[in-house]
Chains A and B, each alone.
Chain A
Amino acid sequence: MQIAESALSNDQPQVNSTGLANKKTAYYRVNFTGQAGEYFKIWIVNIALSIVTLGIYSAWAKVRTQQYFHTNTLINGTGFQYHGQPLNILKGRIIAVVLFVLYSFAVNSMPIIALPVMLIFVIALPWIVIRALAFNARMTSFRGIRFNFEASYGEAFQIVLLWPLLIIVTFGLIIPLIKHKYYEFVINHSSMGTTSFRYNGKISEMFIIYLIAMAIAAGISTAMMIIGMVFALFAGLASAADESSALMIWLASSGASIVIVLYLALYLLMWAFIKTKTTNLIFNNLSLDEHRFYADLNFSQMAIIQFTNTLAIIFSLGLAYPWAAIRMTRYQACCIQVIVSDNLDNIIAGEIKKVGALGDEAAGIFDVELAI
């Protein structure tokens, strides 16, 4: 496969002729131009102003952040646009926070009403998910054309509630199927203007990803168990020799911290593996009309970036966060290509619908899994 680097200044990408339908195919690598220093300034001002305004500015902060990441994500020199309005987001946030406080208070003080409240939330969940996806899609545009997301409650109900119910019964074996259904649901109901996205991934590929992930997890867990046992053994020997031995306490506590570190490493590896492979799977099976996508994220690269990012954030007490976020986004962006058939000019706008920010914020506060 021939790959062309698209640069901002270069308006003439490398072009391949397919010869078949007399249409030209062009490859555009997604180009992320965000800079760590630039984002750090935006980020720190966002946090400082959010503190000073007791959280009110956080709605503006969200819009600034989204705009920064959108405008700096370029395809053939054109950036994405973010249209979210701070006041809408603030309204959604206030409602979500009030709901959250009421919920925590109710559950803490009157455990009896926890169940009915939970039930109402569960019934509302598919609706919240639809609203959140729709809000994010409609607030984003490319080349002046807005994205859109539309789905019925029934479909969302299946994805969000029905299938996940089977996780316990099937001992988690159904998770790849749920993930597959979820991506199918999100992508097939998304569109750019009047043109729909299509997802053609196979369930079997998703199963393979999770199978390998499980093998990695099993390997590391075994290592963890062995290390734990060795430390317990030494700790036992030490305490047999001397009951209040400092060595024994040291062994027990350092054994515990090694297990915690290994657990974090395991989590990180699993995250990197699943993220890498599902991103590749999704983009390689994604299409928009005749346009296609190609992603070749590398597992070890992702794991190294995520690992060093985590270390940097911990040791800088969080100050390295902007650098880490930019670095991760840049790597992911440059691994994704858009395979344009003919040109990108023929996507027609749809009717612009208004959507409140409530779903988006409520989803964020209640920690609904929405990430692709």
Chain B
Amino acid sequence: MKICTLPLLLAGLMLAAGAHASAATHVTATQGWIRILPGKLPAGAYVTLTNSSDQAEALSGASSAAYAEVMLHQSSTQGGVSRMYKVKSLKIPAHGTASLTPGGYHLMLMKAVRAVKPGDIVKITLRFSDGSSLVSDFIARPANAMGASD
């Protein structure tokens, strides 16, 4: 009886995974991190997205149970002036990567449901233009961090 438990469990897990037909399998997210600012200030989230398929993909949105609002933004510095824009999507080339990095593309996380502290892991759902999505872990880092790990 005991021998049967593992395959059954595995089959159950596979079924569960299969049920999420929209789960992205062609995009992986690595080095996800959030720069935590004090109080109720919005935070920036960064990640590297890798597309293993033959088709170009695009990050089109994101959400998280930890924040009431998540927006895809781009910062730019031109002519000595820094600006921030809301952007609709970020292209991830076929067999390529797209990076959300400080000073460039980032997810702006607003209205934290509860205080997020450095060291916490926050789950963010990344949505792609083909309708698939990916739940990814982001590590909360202190304000003066330079990346997912220093």
Are chains A and B native binding partners rather than an unrelated pairing? no
Instruction: List the interface of chain A (C-beta within 8 A of B).
Output: none
Instruction: List the interface of chain B (C-beta within 8 A of A).
Output: none
